[in-house]
Amino acid sequence: MKYRLKDADGTPIDRSVEDTWRRIARATAAVEADPALWEPRFYAALQDFRFLPAGRIASGAGTGRSVTLFNCFVMGTIPDSLSGIFDHLREAALTMQQGGGIGYDFSTIRPKGAGVKGVAADASGPLSFMDVWDAMCRTIMSAGARRGAMMATMRCDHPDIEDFVAAKSDPARLRNFNVSVLVTDAFMAAVKADGPWDLVFDGRVWRTLRARDLWNRIMRATYDYAEPGVIFIDRINDMNNLAYCETIAATNPCGEQPLPPYGACLLGSINLARLVDDPFTDAAALDEDALDDLTATAVRMMDNVVDASRFPLDAQRAEAQAKRRIGLGVTGLADALAMVGARYGSDGAARLTERWLRRLARAAYLGSVDLAREKGAFPLFRADPFLASGTMMRMDDDVREAVRTHGIRNALLTSIAPTGTISLYAGNVSSGIEPVFAHAYTRKVLQKDGTRTEEEVTDYAVGLWRDLNGDAPLPDHFVSAQTLDPMDHVRMQAAAQKWVDSSISKTINVPEAIGFDAFQDVYMQAWDLGCKGCTTYRPNPVTGSVLTVSEERRDAPPEVATARLSAPAEPHGDVIHLTEPLDRPERLEGQTYKLKWPGSEHALYITINDLIQDGRRRPFEIFVNSKNMEHFAWTVALTRMISAVFRRGGDVSFVVEELKAVFDPRGGAWIEGRYIPSILAAIGGVIERHLVATGFIPGEGLGLKTDPQANVVTLAPSSAKACPACGSFELHMIEGCMTCAACGHSRCG
């Protein structure tokens, strides 16, 4: 339902998943000299969900629509001038409009307080411009494009680094950004030696502090509110096959693709869970010959996408075609390990992970060499410096010799992406190289009529075990993210990183009760074991808790406990299948209400217009206006969000419930003899009265799933954070991205 091709009215053109596979195979084969030869081979790779192109390819290939098939972009280097900054803001908007997630390094902007020649003013600093980017992203999202996703990085020696580290402590700021610190080798050495650290811009030392003090600030911030992440930038550049012709200073939003200015990369994953023979037996093993064949075919398909895709900017097209970078990875690793009897996080599982990913890397590089023999090496290929990179120095001698002799088609080939939705689509295999998050859980699905159904979802390996063994207890080596030691996560990430030439999207879940020193040790272990970055998630008051188990299932065996959403999380976030919006007639009937909030100088005027549908009057759009400019941004956002919900049809009374349950920590107000916990709750009350007046619901508090009047002053859980889109307390972390289970809002797209 998410990826199938549909007409403008929502009628499916892809009637089955086989139709979608055929569309992708035909589009990727079209650039071949003999499409008829390659289309069936590409289709065979897609069958049984063995190769999973990323979502941009699955939804866009062969549609004829003006969309990019690339997932990841890093934008150009931001110049330290006002005109240059806003030129790059425009480029970012164009890229996001086509569905690309973007990354930016803000280290090139002069620090706050620096002089600006010619205007007798002081610079506002990079964080002020990050706020502008954040607002742009909200605007693009409100215009109906895909959800925005941005990454902001800053060097650890920038004079504003301390403000950057603390920026996300404000839960209302930079909501559309992930942020990461670019940590250098020199900084890590200074931290370990407890030495001084200079903050520098444009050759000038602004001030000096203890390296360990800055490190502690970074660690305390991510301990308290899960950001910033840490990127070991020198290691990335040292290992980069293209170090001779590019310098990397940023990554895509989820971190698996370090990219140069205007760098672009497309993604795809080999489903390891589908390649295990004789699962759960003594003979269980991954079919490594099948892995070789499938990898070679996947590399060819992805290389073809470089030529088949559109690009938001000409500079992105030029960069992609000059280097032909792809990001082939894996998904279903944890399931495959369970199927061969290995406990995720154990030494044995780490050795198997390293073996399988080494095999994939060999097959990918040799497949790309074969393509170079047939179609030519990537234009910027230079044998000696390419082979001198850190990654190529690790490669087997026969691979190095093949590259030296024939060249290579793709400059970089491997990456481990977050695969939440495509993993669900493939039968709920474990995501990327992450552990199984929950063996079974309940997922909400929005139906065409606006109602939600709950679907029981079981992990792929668990379901296969049940098919083979009935109700027999799961073996001890079945583990979930909730039971793993943080160092188990680090061990698995490090094992995979040895054979991944780009990077890895991986979240290390740590318990809320972990001590701060133990938490810091996770990052030091990641550094010492050769990881290119580290991202953790600890439940906290700013971002909320991750997973709760439903009360009705607490007595169930651990292997079948159901993940429920409270301030919750489940592995991949809700699948939200939206219908096409209702068409707007030229004329609508409506009503305007005046709302005077005590203490506010100006009233709010709320206009609700209605549509007649099936003989019933239903809300279609809402406008919230006020002369008070303090309210401008959030009233516009509220207008657009609620109107979008109304136009989708179905039962929209939940809007009333959600708004009336929002409290203001500064206190509510008494209006007409009743306590209203927030101005948003008051707006919810106005909408409710309108729905009653038009007959959409029978009465106040009636026709709703719950009566929010009964608990309007109930506080949310102390660790919960409200969704910036809908206000509900159902945010949870999915592979580094906060996602709302109630409305589907995500910071990362």
Q: Are 608 and 619 in contact (CB under 8 A)?
A: yes
Q: Are 570 and 438 in contact (CB under 8 A)?
A: yes
Map tokens 């502090």 to a residue. Answer: 209
Whether cis (ω within 30° of 0) applies to the bond prior to 171 is no
* Residue 315 to residue 61: CA distance in whole angstroms: 21
* Residue 172 to residue 163: CA distance in whole angstroms: 15
Residues 6+ apart with CB under 8 A from 515: none
Active site residue 252: yes
End-to-end CA distance of the chain: 17
Lookup: tokens for 590? 């409506």
Nearest Cα neighbor of 529 from 510, 514, 508 is: 508
Q: Strand 562-564 and strand 440-446: pairing?
A: parallel
504-526 core/surface letters (b: 16 or more CB in 10 A; e: else):
bbbbbbbeeeeeeeebbbbbbbb
Q: Rg for the chain (alpha carbons), in Å?
A: 26
Lookup: tokens for 96? 């996001």
In terms of C-beta density within 10 A (0-12 exposed, 13-18 middle, 19 or more buried), how is residue 729 classed? buried
Q: Which of 237, 252, 428, 609 is catalytic?
A: 252
* Residue 748 to residue 147: CA distance in whole angstroms: 7
Lookup: tokens for 46? 């897609």
Active site residue 254: yes
Lookup: tokens for 578? 């939206």
* Residue 456 to residue 452: CA distance in whole angstroms: 13
Q: Are 116 and 143 in contact (CB under 8 A)?
A: no
* Residue 310 to residue 463: CA distance in whole angstroms: 39
* Residue 402 to residue 110: CA distance in whole angstroms: 46
* Residue 330 to residue 414: CA distance in whole angstroms: 9
Lookup: tokens for 325? 């970078």
Active site residue 672: no
Element (H, E) at 326: strand 326-331
Lookup: tokens for 248? 């990397």
Q: Are 286 and 343 in contact (CB under 8 A)?
A: no
Q: Which of 254, 531, 726, 740 is catalytic?
A: 254
* Residue 80 to residue 110: CA distance in whole angstroms: 6
Alpha helices, DSSP H, located in 623-695: 632-647, 654-660, 679-693
Q: Strand 72-74 and strand 101-105: pairing?
A: parallel
Q: Which of 39, 256, 570, 730 is catalytic?
A: 256
* Residue 425 to residue 572: CA distance in whole angstroms: 11
**DSSP character string of 196-258:** EEEEEETTEEEEEEEHHHHHHHHHHHHHHHS--EEEEHHHHHHH-TTTTT----EE-TTSS-E
> Catalytic residues, which ones?
252, 254, 256
